[in-house]
Amino acid sequence: MDLKDYIRDIPDFPEPGILFRDITTLLREPKAFQHVLDCLVEEYKDQQIDYVAGIESRGFIFGTPLALQLGCGFVPIRKPGKLPAATFSESYTLEYGKNTLEIHQDAFGIPGSRVLIIDDLLATGGTAVAAGKLVQKAGGTLAGFGFIIELTFLNGRAKLLEDVPAVALVSY
Amino acid sequence: MDLKDYIRDIPDFPEPGILFRDITTLLREPKAFQHVLDCLVEEYKDQQIDYVAGIESRGFIFGTPLALQLGCGFVPIRKPGKLPAATFSESYTLEYGKNTLEIHQDAFGIPGSRVLIIDDLLATGGTAVAAGKLVQKAGGTLAGFGFIIELTFLNGRAKLLEDVPAVALVSY
């Protein structure tokens, strides 16, 4: 199955000149969505993952079914002010401004837990790097980054930690 | 399994006087998270659901694995400006102000598709009612509302459509 057949291109979103890769057309097709999950499970089933951390919001879409399939806990990495208990924060710059992400300080039960970070898209890498720092602040060991789509021309992969494997199912 | 054992109470969040029911402690325990899914699958497996619509963001956490288990498509109902193609919108009032939700106009392949709306929490019901209207605007037939937690003292259930069954796994 070629996942690109299910990803829709939307020109000029969210800004003029940006070609947005829309996954909602993939999600609404059960066979395509299940195929994405099967690919992720195949990639990570022997990696001794303890927790899947999903980045709000599209990381939740793929991270939660993956956590359940792997028999792992799920940890949300969220936008500021959404997590109710004590958090760690990381701010980072984006093409369109500045963002902050948070994780619960007690997100992982045991220090050194192996944590896989899941998001839908690897673009400039800023979000993924911030999520990686949060996992480490909360005492987790980064086991990998998993993405559905990688925009290779933005070279985000170069920003990720070299010794942490990064996987993307589809590249543009 | 008593799911309340896995839900953490956080006083005075997001505002003084509010007791927040935190599900992150449930999500990080694989057996508890899987139990939630098993309960939802049991509830809906014979209901001929065509699409699960999850409300951003916590509705994504439960809606996506449920859609996959039921072999349904998943449709995100999102905050304004997040969905890239043509949308329908619904605004509604909240305790703390006003919110808007959006759905893609072409979310459902076939008019009359049976759509189950999933969110983590039924509080005053405003969010669920808006999501229900969006599903109908996009040509779907409302098959049910599924929640993890219901705050019965807020009486949100009274706002939902009478002929659409609503299920909550845990009540406070």
CA gap A102, A138 in Å, rounded = 10
Answer yes or no: do A33 and B104 touch at CB < 8 A.
no
Answer yes or no: do B68 and A64 touch at CB < 8 A.
no
pLDDT at A111: 84
The amino acid occupying position B169 is L
As a whole-number percent, the residues of chain A with pLDDT over 90 amount to: 92
pLDDT band at B114 (very low <50, low <70, confident <90, very high): very high
CA gap B42, B70 in Å, rounded = 10
Question: Which stretches does DSSP call E strand in A66-140?
Answer: 73-77, 87-94, 97-104, 114-122
Answer yes or no: do B65 and A64 touch at CB < 8 A.
yes
pLDDT at B94: 77
CA gap B93, B111 in Å, rounded = 29
Pick from B28, B39, B62 the residue to mutate for testing the A interface (most A CBs within 10 Å): B28
Answer yes or no: do A14 and B81 touch at CB < 8 A.
yes
CA gap B118, A62 in Å, rounded = 16
pLDDT at A62: 98
pLDDT at B110: 82
Instruction: Evaluate whether B22 touches B3 at the Cβ level (below 8 Å).
Output: no
Per-chain mean pLDDT for chain A: 96
CA gap A127, B59 in Å, rounded = 22
Answer yes or no: do B22 and A84 touch at CB < 8 A.
yes
- Structure token digits, residue B134: 């969006």
Respond yes or no: is residue B95 known to be catalytic: yes
| Arithmetic mean of pLDDT, A158-167 | 92
Helix/strand/coil percent split, chain A, to 5: 30, 35, 35
- B30 closest CB neighbour out of A8, A72, A76: A72
pLDDT at B161 over 90: no
Pick from B13, B18, B57 the residue to mutate for testing the A interface (most A CBs within 10 Å): B57
Query: How far is C-alpha A38 from the geometric centre of its chain's CA atoms?
Result: 16
In tens, the pLDDT along A112-138 reads 999 999 999 999 999 999 999 999 999
Instruction: Evaluate whether B70 touches B84 at the Cβ level (below 8 Å).
Output: no
Parallel/antiparallel/unpaired status of strands B141-150 and B114-122: parallel
- A61 closest CB neighbour out of B64, B81, B104: B64
Q: Which residue of A has its CA nearest to B106?
A: A25
Burial-class residue B54 by CB neighbours within 10 Å (0-12, 13-18, 19+): buried
Q: Which residue of A has its CA nearest to B56?
A: A57
Contacts of residue A27 in chain B, CB cutoff 8 Å? 64, 67, 73-76
Domains by residue range for chain B, with CATH: 47-171 (3.40.50.2020)
Pick from A10, A28, A68 the residue to mutate for testing the B interface (most B CBs within 10 Å): A28
Query: How far is C-alpha A67 from the geometric centre of its chain's CA atoms?
Result: 12
pLDDT at A55: 98
- B65 closest CB neighbour out of A10, A13, A68: A68
- Using alpha carbons, list the distances in angstroms from residue B161 to A142, B48, B92: 46, 19, 16
Instruction: Evaluate whether B69 touches B42 at the Cβ level (below 8 Å).
Output: no
- Structure token digits, residue A61: 């879409």
Q: Which residue of A has its CA nearest to B104?
A: A24
Of A30-44, A92-106, B40-54, the range with the lowest mean pLDDT is A92-106
Question: Which stretches does DSSP call E strand in B34-113?
Answer: 51-55, 73-77, 87-94, 97-104
| Arithmetic mean of pLDDT, A92-103 | 87
Q: Which of B56, B58, B102, B150 is catalytic?
A: B58
Answer yes or no: do A64 and B67 touch at CB < 8 A.
no
Residue B42 CB contacts under 8 Å (≥ 6 apart), including other chains: none
* Chain length of chain A: 172
CA gap B111, B70 in Å, rounded = 20
Model-level ipTM above the cut of 0.90: yes
Respond yes or no: is residue B78 known to be catalytic: no
As a whole-number percent, the residues of chain A with pLDDT over 70 amount to: 99
